[in-house]
């Protein structure tokens, strides 16, 4: 059975068969819905400061 996952960066739902799996050196598995999310994670950007993420905090 296919499992629906959430993006580790923007918290959007990822459809089965899509998305990117990123494995860190410590063995932690992170799922990303798009390369946009993966690139922003690698650049060290805080998802709370980006308005297109679900974890955005409006000021």
Query: Is 35 annotated to bind ligand?
Result: no
Query: Is 10 annotated to bind ligand?
Result: yes
Whole-number Å distance between alpha carbons of 29 and 48: 21
Query: Is 40 annotated to bind ligand?
Result: no
Query: Is 33 annotated to bind ligand?
Result: yes
**Pairing between β-strand 13-14 and β-strand 5-6 as defined by DSSP bridges:** antiparallel
Helices (H), the chain: 35-42
* Known binding-site residue numbers: 7, 10, 33, 37
* Known binding-site residue numbers for Zn(2+): 7, 10, 33, 37
């Amino acid at each position: 059975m296919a499992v629906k996952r959430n993006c580790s960066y923007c918290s959007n739902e990822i459809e089965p068969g899509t998305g990117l799996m990123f494995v860190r050196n410590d063995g932690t598995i992170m799922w990303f819905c798009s390369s946009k999310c993966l690139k922003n994670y690698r650049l060290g950007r805080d998802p709370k400061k980006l308005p297109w993420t679900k974890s955005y905090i409006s000021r």
